[in-house]
Structure 1
Amino acid sequence: MISFDQIQLFNGLLYMDRVLFLLSAIIVLHFFLEWYFFIKKRKFIFDYWHYTCFFIIILPVCIMYPFAGSVINIISVGVAIYDIQDYVNMAYIISIIGYFCMLIGKSICGNKVRRNYNFLERELYKNFNSERYYNVINTINIIILIVLIVLCLRYPEYVFNFRLIRYSEPILGPVINAIVSFSTYSLLFLFFRAIKEKNKVSIFFLLLNIAIILLIGTRALIVQPILIIILIYLGLNRDSLKIVLKISIYVVLLIILNIIFDNFRKYLLGYDNIGLGFFIQFFYGNNMSDLRDFAWILTGFNDDFLWGKTYLSAILSFIPSSLLVFRETYSLGKVTNNFVGIEGEHLGLRGTIFAEPYLNFDIWGVAIVGIILGYWLQYTNNNFLKSMEMKKDIYEIYANLFMYKLFAGLLVQSGGFFISYIGIFMVLLGSFIRRIK
């Protein structure tokens, strides 16, 4: 293990290596300067490249670096923080190497754009404009809500956290997975519908979908489509700085509401110590814990490389893990729990986006995935910007992001790849429904 000169500041609130902290500061400065010059050149406030990199690298890795090893994390991981401290720098370096490789991939892609939409993108766009398609989505959501209400009466202890019911009732695991996966896409589609139609019916079904997600306990599913919509809105209304201020306020309120709901959910579930301040909750809780969790995984990893097993498990995710021992053993969540010794009702540790490539294929996997991811993200961004410059509607703009959102997750966090299968199914379902005479 590389030796680092660690320092603590502000009574242990910060714990870091001076050189890596300086590197982090340089990366953050470069990111915002490059973003500034992008705005000056293209007249866009935000694009998909900067949006994505901010939320997968800049915030969870660079900005969170000095907090990830702080002893204050004992509120979330207990005494394991003392082992985690020895691996934060390693987790940070691996993640930054991946980011540098993303920049290489971005450079290789340059300004390339597509000439034509592929089959899935074309069908998705047609689905968005189909009244029949939304009727089917709304009907499915009504059925899902009825199922969840029945489960609430039968298992009241899992209200607002039904994603954990798989541990006590394994047979319900695939059902909850299917609901979560369906809601991932239906919520975004219904958001688009509500924006386009602006009628009470579309808003009602959007709120119904939100209620489903709150009952399951996957709050991030609500945040993600809102951020995507904000990103598109900024692109289509990029001449007013007042919009930037308003959007910034909305994002901050969204983060605060997310933490408030998390505390409320924990209160209902009987957790203690839920009254932590916003600062402590954000920097030392589990909302931005990717880098800390990656370091935690490394404490029990011991270079026991998996050589693609978690990826294969994800590809086979259409088979319930109860029917396939391999999936039960090598799902990403199960693997990370085994490395750190977590037992019981826990879905696994996230790690940064380059944790899984490293666990499977060492630093070479990080480099290759980084280049591919950077190229693909830049290519997606080029098409995204082109659509907004041409003032396309919100449906067509989102279609440019669909393939990246479908398959990029397999490269960096394969645990949710079943969601991609559902996404493909929903597109094909709409294609079939539209063709029924």
Structure 2
Amino acid sequence: MDTEEFQLPRSRMANERLHAMIPGGAHTYAKGDDQWPENLAPVISHGSGAHVWDIDGNRYIEYGSGLRSVSLGHAHPRVLEAVRRELDRGSNFVRPSIVEGEAAERFLATVPTAEMVKFAKNGSDVTTAAVRLARAVTGRPRVAICGDHPFFSVDDWFIGTTPMSAGIPAATTELTVAFPYGDLAATEELLTRYQDEIACLILEPAGHTEPPPGYLAGLRELADRHGCVLIFDEMITGLRWSEAGAQGLYGVVPDLSTFGKALGNGFAVSALAGRRQLMEWGGLRHSGDRVFLLSTTHGAETHSLAAAMAVQTTYAEEGITAQLHALGERLAAGVRAAAAGMGVGDHVVVRGRASNLVFATLDENRQPSQQYRTLFLRQLLAGGVLAPSFVVSSALGDADIDRTVDVVAQACAVYRKALDAADPTPWLAGRPVKPVFRRLA
């Protein structure tokens, strides 16, 4: 594996064209070429299963597909068959289609802790709708977010709390406060400090670590005692933790929850679900003030709803969640063994639930390092592995995992050389990758 010979000339030119027409060169910041080694940001031609091809003709084993959304693999036949059945029947009408009812029934059967559901296109649509509903129901202005979780919405109530807060009034940001994950005492102190002001607690129910024993149940009790709404952001945990998400796995029922990503296997669909008593505030069958919950032109587009139904059926009938866990466990064990074998087991670190693995790249002092991440990504790319994370899809085979571990071992050999030199710079061939959330471009 020679990273000096690995070049992507067509992708490099295409990235220049993309930047000329699209701010940032991509429609998602996490897909930006600043997230990849300089001049080694592949532009994708197509994908099939667990593999993608760039426009330079290189094939990669792909992880983290579509920002974790493609959990069944690209162009999954059951999903495509369901979508094709709807293609000739129209996509959007002046009244609800029967597909909307069928999709709602399927979702509520998959997530039985929810009593009603409303579909949209993006995760931000539904998390913001959940926050708005919580404010309407409680009459309170403040939102409490889990400060340990990286992303909730593109909307002002969240983005104002990040380093990319330009354009967002301080008055908006001041209404969002943060609590630490796993610390019930600190959360209760926050609720007491802002007594009767906090409309909701919103968090990912699980992340790179399992929730401490009793934590989610404790949050449920705190929310009830302080009269606020408990919202689970299940964008990542939905389907990957269990078919019914983290709430189905851990047995704690939130008032509202939001789903997306794996729900559509790459098709644009998200869901706001929750207790009927709250969700009906956004409907017509109550006597109170109307709440603008969700109203989107394309929220009920039939092709994506058909895809979502097919995804849920596939998960249930083929045991996809268990497959993801088994694949992730095999990959994690292989990567850890490869890193340890090359003497970098304390520096290339795999974390997270088996179905949602990420990796950390640590420097000589075992601190997170963008430089060492750049070195690692360069080596993986040259070996045919496209891996901003190690989040698996069920399309991966044993041969893909074995090949990935081989490439990781070769990358770790170079990593060891850089650690011994106490300087990864000679192996970067350009600027290091950058975090998404930063103040300056």
- The TM-score normalised by the length of structure 2 is 0.23
Choose between structure 1 and 2: higher helix proportion: 1
Larger relative contact order (CA 8 Å, sep ≥ 6):
1
Choose between structure 1 and 2: higher strand proportion: 2
